[in-house]
Amino acid sequence: MSAERRSSTAPTLAWHANRSVDESPPGVPRWVKVFGVVAVIVVLLAIAAMIWVGGEHGPGRHMHGDHTAASAFAPFVDP
Amino acid sequence: MTDSPGLHRLVLTTHITTSVGWLGAVLAYLALDIIATVGQDVANVRAAYFGMQVLILYIIVPLAIASVLIGIVNALSSPWGLFQHYWIVVKVLLTLFAITILFLEVRSVGHVAEIAASGADPRELPGSLPHSIGGMIVLFVTTALSVYKPRGVTRYGSRKQQERRLARMHSNPSSRVP
């Protein structure tokens, strides 16, 4: 389907199509780099917090005895 | 890619509805999580864990799966594509991260709700506030990316754009720049 045909039937899609044609040349944009740096910092802080708090993290911390993962998906079924 | 603008709008509407619904459901979950974590009334805390389990199993997970699947269909059926723009790639990565944490959280909440319902003091159970708040932030960021659509084309996207330009020039020679 051509961009021209889209633009004649859907203004929103025409805007999308026109804008995509006018995009800047390749190269990682600054906002992506900033976003990546922030994401790495957040992940490192989360790992540091887990180490600082200590103990088990994730689903395993609630699993003791004979609890199984499958039971979480059938919570309202009588044993 | 679909040839029907009506069908594409239906897919887009469903994608927006499921995605924003997912964010709304996470906000409701967060409210219950706060009660479960800081509440002092045993009955309220137990009810909060039960509500969290119902919300995550029957609302959040179905909405998340629907949002991801319909989002992929929506991207592939539009001029944006799935890997042509950085904002869509970032959105896909964030959504996959969120859904991975969500599936891990389903197991945790199931077990905690089970323990809370068994008669034990539910106030001693750990809540899941970091995950709830994190999920809310990630979904808010993906929503903002969809609205602002920051500029930036991937190498693959640039190649596809050149192909489209060439195809237009071949189909309409008068559009060539002198």
List pLDDT tens digits, range B70-85.
Answer: 999 999 988 899 999 9
* Beta carbons of A72 and B157 less than 8 Å apart: no
What's the ipTM?
Answer: 0.76
User: Which of B104, B153, B168 lies nearest to residue A23, judging by beta carbons?
Assistant: B153
A contact residues 4-63, partner B, Cβ 8 Å cutoff? 6, 9-10, 13, 16-17, 19-21, 23-26, 28-29, 31-32, 35, 46, 49, 58-59, 61-63
- List the one residue out of B108, B106, B97 whose CA is nearest residue B135: B97
B13-47 pLDDT, tens digit per residue, is 999 999 999 999 999 999 999 999 999 999 999 99
CB contact under 8 A, B111 and A25: no
pTM exceeds 0.80 for this model: no
pLDDT digits (tens, 9 = 90+) for B156-165: 998 988 888 8
pLDDT tier, B53 (very low <50, low <70, confident <90, very high otherwise): very high
Cα B106-B41-B38 angle, rounded to 5 deg: 55
Alpha-carbon gap, residue A54 to A47, rounded angstroms: 10
